[in-house]
Chain A
């Protein structure tokens, strides 16, 4: 006979609420809970370029064009696209069976509204910059439109599948206004927004009238968990079914836990050293010596479990601008020889300044410190300073960046214009390289209409940039994913983790 004393009762009463504390919300049979590192800043999808929220946006809104898992441009709301030979007009055919979440039909007029009329009406949308060459969009019929450009715009199809390019309904937005639209968004995507608690949670429900493949998950709950340790804890405790961007060093431990699986996938994000063409880096020998002195394989092994692919050019394996046959060797001897040509040695080191973020991407500051040590061994003395990511563009616009800056650049499309063109165009704020001899070649390349010549041109510029030390590509970045073993996800080459592509296996 077990005696139950008053103390036992009180203890049980004290523990009971704890046991009830955790609701069982993860691992619903047709639902998924995702631990996501950042929030959606606005539900007006054209307003801000937010790569981190792009996958969430893709659940609620559709893009005119899509990309498959291998980054190939594929039909979305647009079934067929035809760029004119001079790349100054683009004919688009739209699906005829797409409904917005409010039941209204999507037509080419909505496309014109999104990519032309909103911009002309003065709406503060970031796509005004990506669509700045657009002079008009002619609506030929409800399922056909022709985009016209003031100069060759060969990458517009790529941009129609990239940041901020999501279709919004003209009638609804005109009726309720932009502010109300951002509060109650209406898209054509596979999910409808049910609830958004800023900086806490997003709840999506399947759009049963979706024109495309029906998503397996009926309900998607996205917990915004910004702290990486808390994300690890959330997936480990089962409070979420899947999370991303956890520290690489945690993967081995988490993989060993029962019920969890981990993925470490190379993505389209590149890690590189941005380079000035003056001051301590005016001399090409020093720039090339600095590049030859970096052991990229060692950096990958130390900070990314060897999964980050060492790069020689601005592009990732599989992307059109990547040069499979081109290598940039780790060669300390050659680095010393180059420095000696310019009168520098271990005893008389070349002195430069270097900037790095700390915590902007995994192990950024540690990579910078390792590079400083590698340089020291060949005769380059770098003074490392930490900058905030938000200040990068500010410093660059003011020409105040140091000789080199550790930087990461995301290009979900893989297109070489968005790698090399953006990173080395002296007129854009991404590039600290301001030399117009090379810069003009880059600018001119933006206007090449023929696709074959365009890609060939970027590949040639990629090689030239590395050979003259205009950029030092380091590594292809990786995406870390931790998920419950039964949950299947589609690994996209650009790092998208899409709720509509998840299923319990």
Chain B
């Protein structure tokens, strides 16, 4: 109940944030030295034809009026037409969003497993001879950006070992089930194990490339939190009561130390969602990131706008969920 109430409150406060972001986004894109009317026409269009297109797109009106018109349409789910694809911008984002969420969730799973496991390992190695080695490895992991991991994996697992596919979301010949757009879920819902397998195999390299880059901060925060927690009185008392070290770690220390890590993971998800841009391009992964890269390259303002807003909504939702989880895991924060 508390969780739902918190989520509800968070989502209500998200509305003004979304409005502010939409104003900023709209204004920023309109002041860019790019003419959407010209971009919507072929290069051999005359000035008169471009002016006609500008009037038709409402770009000759004052900026506040343009924003008002855009907002009115956006409230009705009409985000305009893509300049590049000449299709409904909202529909294009709806088609590609599930792929990116699926990739981000898979990458989050990878970075969580690696981050939490690595954090425990780092904590276990504290003040031992292997500690500097482990520190160096995490620093190295942190210094390699996701696109470099992506290219490295292609050459190792795609070219050298020829063990993994690295283009698309499914094997050729397989048709997308087209229920929710979340391939793994769709495969389960339709009972298609072949699609499930193919989707998972295609997710491995992009998810690991993306997840690896985000795992080291989780490792470090968990390690630091565990070290802090081990200085607490209740840990000492547990030891005095003869509780085993393993039980102290899992039952007492980890439960408290994981809270700051959870906050970090929430923040990380936002970055991870944005970080999928290059990884999607490198792996020919048909997600929102790939769409965004095309949109930026072609100055496709309606797409940039709706992708920007979607990103904002995803971050707000994730933050709300993390806040809710915080309350579930930490009773002290619950309202009395």
Contacts and interface: CB of A to CB of B under 8 A. Distances in A.
Given A201-B168, A393-B43, A427-B46, A19 B290 contact: no
B164 interface: yes
Nearest to B168: A200
A129 B49 contact: yes
A198 B172 contact: no
Contacts of A201: 167-168, 172, 284
Given A41-B85, A182-B87, A227-B282, A49 B162 contact: no
B135 interface: no
A199 B291 contact: yes
Contact of A221 (B44, B96, B164, B172): B172
B86 A124 contact: yes
B172 A42 contact: no
A23 B284 contact: no
Interface string B292-317: 01100111000000000000000000
A21 B201 contact: yes
Nearest to A394: B35
Name the residue among A126, A390, A427 with the largest chain B CB count within 10 angstroms: A390
Contacts of B161: 18
Interface stretch (A229-237, A301-309, A322-330): A229-237
B299 A197 contact: no
Contacts of B267: none
A313 to B, nearest CB: 21
Interface size class of B (residues with CB under 8 A): 35 or more
Contacts of A390: 34, 39, 297-299
Contact of A17 (B44, B201, B287): B201
Nearest to A428: B44
B47 interface: yes
A225 B166 CA distance: 10
A289 B281 CA distance: 43
Contacts of A179: 87
B162 A237 contact: yes
B329 to A, nearest CB: 33
A227 B284 CA distance: 8
Given A18-B163, A47-B86, A233-B158, A393 B172 contact: no
A239 B47 contact: no
Contact of B159 (A48, A203, A236): A236
Contacts of A126: 41-42
A391 B33 CA distance: 8
Name the residue among A42, A124, A427, A429 with the largest chain B CB count within 10 angstroms: A429
B165 A23 contact: yes
Interface string A212-239: 0000000001011111011001101111
Contacts of B42: 48-49, 126, 129-130, 164
A21 B164 contact: yes
Interface in A1-32: 17-23, 25
Interface in B187-222: 197-198, 201, 204
Given A19-B163, A390-B34, A229 B45 contact: no
Interface string A108-134: 000000000000000010100110000
A224 B43 contact: no
A422 interface: yes
Contacts of A203: 172-173
B281 A25 contact: no
B223 interface: no
A195 interface: yes
Contact of B85 (A20, A35, A42): A42
B141 interface: no
Contacts of A391: 33-34, 299
Nearest to B50: A397
A67 interface: no
Contact of A195 (B169, B175, B204): B175
A18 B86 CA distance: 40
B298 to A, nearest CB: 6
A218 to B, nearest CB: 13
A45 B204 CA distance: 36
A153 to B, nearest CB: 14
B285 interface: yes
A33 interface: yes
A198 B293 CA distance: 13
B3 interface: no
Given A236-B159, A390-B298, A394-B38, A197 B286 contact: yes
Interface string A170-184: 000000000100100
B171 interface: yes
Interface in A47-100: 47-49
Interface in A191-208: 195, 197-201, 203
A429 B154 CA distance: 41
Interface string B147-167: 000010011011101111111
A42 B170 CA distance: 22
A210 interface: no
Name the residue among B50, B169, B297 with the largest chain A CB count within 10 angstroms: B297
B283 interface: yes
A237 B168 contact: no
A200 B167 contact: yes
A236 B158 CA distance: 9
B290 A199 contact: yes
A159 to B, nearest CB: 10
Contacts of B34: 390-391, 394
A438 interface: no
B84 interface: yes
Interface string B262-288: 000000000000000000111111110
Interface in B1-30: none
B186 interface: no
A365 to B, nearest CB: 16
Nearest to B46: A427
A430 interface: yes
Contacts of A226: 281, 284, 290, 293
Given A41-B85, A130-B44, A199 B286 contact: yes
B140 interface: no
Nearest to A234: B167
A25 B159 contact: no
B41 A129 contact: yes
B95 interface: yes
A346 B51 CA distance: 46
Given A199-B286, A395-B33, 13 more contacts: A23-B172, A49-B43, A129-B42, A199-B294, A200-B168, A200-B169, A225-B167, A233-B166, A234-B166, A388-B297, A397-B38, A397-B47, A429-B43
11 contacts: A197-B176, A201-B167, A225-B284, A229-B154, A234-B158, A239-B166, A390-B39, A391-B33, A393-B38, A394-B34, A395-B33
Q: Top 8 A-B pairs ranked by shortest CB distance?
A: A200-B286, A126-B42, A18-B163, A200-B168, A199-B290, A23-B171, A199-B286, A21-B164
